Amino acid sequence: METTLIILKPDAVQRGLMGRILGRFEDKGLQIVGCKMMRISPELAARHYEAHRERPFYPGLVKFMTSQPVLVLAVRGNGAIGVCRKMMGATFGSKAEPGTIRGDFGVSNSFNLIHGSDSPEAAERELGLFFAPGEVLTYERAVEGWVYDLSGGKPE
């Protein structure tokens, strides 16, 4: 099982899409193991996006991400990183396929609604930035056997 960071960005929050987007992850069978609404500080945004610091879009990205509240999620499931990224769709809403979050809700190439960790290493680092110890939970779900085939002893 993997746990990944998902951020519903200011445009998703302002457009009232939080419930619809969060519901897609739950509908898929993924488990929400951490959730909080917050305003990202410039310092946190700088740490989160440090790999992009030299890119021309960096100042605008930090300004955007700190402009309004976001919803931060820890999402767990078998292959959760890849599953979530596929659900998100292509980075630019204008190029994202219908059926994806960005394809269904976005057209902007700047405001792309959602962030998801792109690797296990990134997920670990990013979850540590946004969640304190004890804020990402582990709990059993009765539905787990209906989401995954567990007959072989591990989720399929």
Active-site pick, 40, 115, 127, 131: 115
Digit-coded pLDDT (tens) for 24-76: 999 999 999 999 999 999 999 999 999 999 999 999 999 999 999 999 999 99
Say whether 55 sits in a helix, a strand or coil.
coil
The string of DSSP letters for 131-144 reads --TTSS-----TTH
Q: Is 115 a catalytic residue?
A: yes
Q: What are phi and psi of 52, to 5 degrees?
A: -100, 5
Digit-coded pLDDT (tens) for 120-154: 999 999 999 999 999 999 999 989 888 998 888 88
Determine contact, residues 10/82, Cβ cutoff 8 Å. no
CATH fold for the domain made of 2-132: Alpha-Beta Plaits (3.30.70)
Residue 18 CA, chain-centre distance (Å), reads 11
Length of the chain in residues, anyone?
156
Bridge partners (DSSP) of residue 106 are none
pTM (predicted TM-score):
0.94
Q: State both tokens at 31.
A: 């488990």
